[in-house]
Homo-oligomer: A and B are copies of this chain.
């Protein structure tokens, strides 16, 4: 039976790099991957890694798109890879689970765990509920510890304000350990 994997990590933990590497591994074996990205991420219709590699996306999924149908309408994939999976709707995560369990297609979803206020994204929460395997991609805090939370800043000032999804360029993020986050932003 195929499985649904959720590989989560804080901002800048290398999720897109990992996705591109896995795609490369499959294709090197002559296998076919299908790369999915939620439409809400307006940065780019590509998977962009910070170490300078990128990759075209096969399916841009609007929030209410029938993801299982979209994937099954494509030529058979040996693996579905999802970038920015936190932006999926819960129903789309259900679709990914069913693609694995009922249709036999392995799915690896990469995404953030929580927003700047430590709250899960709807897609992440559903992935945490359903994934057969939950794996962390680690990165470090400014203090050298493992980063687990994402702090938002606007104009250099850290803030808990604003929507869960912010317009790119108007805010910045820094991944932090729990202690640095609490010291910087307090605990609500």
Please report A residues at the B interface, Cβ cutoff 8 Å: 1, 12-14, 17-18, 20-22, 24-26, 28-31, 49-53, 78, 94, 97-98, 100-102, 106, 113-114, 118-120, 125, 128-130, 132-134, 136, 139-142, 144-146, 148, 177-179, 182, 187
Contacts and interface: CB of A to CB of B under 8 A. Distances in A.
A136 B28 CA distance: 20
A94 B187 contact: yes
Given A78-B144, A97-B178, 8 more contacts: A12-B25, A31-B140, A98-B187, A113-B129, A114-B130, A118-B130, A130-B178, A132-B148
Given A51-B53, A53-B51, A120-B125, A139 B102 contact: no
A82 to B, nearest CB: 17
Contacts of A13: 25
Query: Which of A14, A119, A129 has most B Cβ within 10 Å?
Result: A129
Q: State the number of copies, please.
A: 4
A12 B28 contact: yes
B14 A21 contact: yes
A7 to B, nearest CB: 11
Contacts of A119: 129
Given A53-B52, A94-B187, A146 B132 contact: yes
